Amino acid sequence: MTIVQAAPADLETLAGLFDAYRVFYERVSDPDAARNYLHDRLTRDEATVFLALQENEALGFALCYCTFSSVALKPLVILNDLYTTPEARGRGVATALIARCADFARSHGAEILRLRTARDNRSAQAVYERVGFVRDEVFFTYDLKL
Q: What is the pLDDT along the chain (146 residues), one digit of tens a residue?
A: 999 999 999 999 999 999 999 999 999 999 999 999 999 999 999 999 999 999 989 999 999 999 999 988 999 999 999 999 999 999 999 999 999 999 999 999 999 999 999 888 898 999 999 999 999 888 888 888 89
Distance of CA 93 to the CA centre of its chain: 12
Q: Is 115 left (phi over 0), alpha (psi -120 to 50) or beta?
A: beta
pLDDT the model gives residue 141? 84
| Per-domain boundaries in the chain | 2-130
Architecture of domain 2-130: 3-Layer(aba) Sandwich (3.40)
pLDDT the model gives residue 56? 82
pLDDT the model gives residue 118? 87
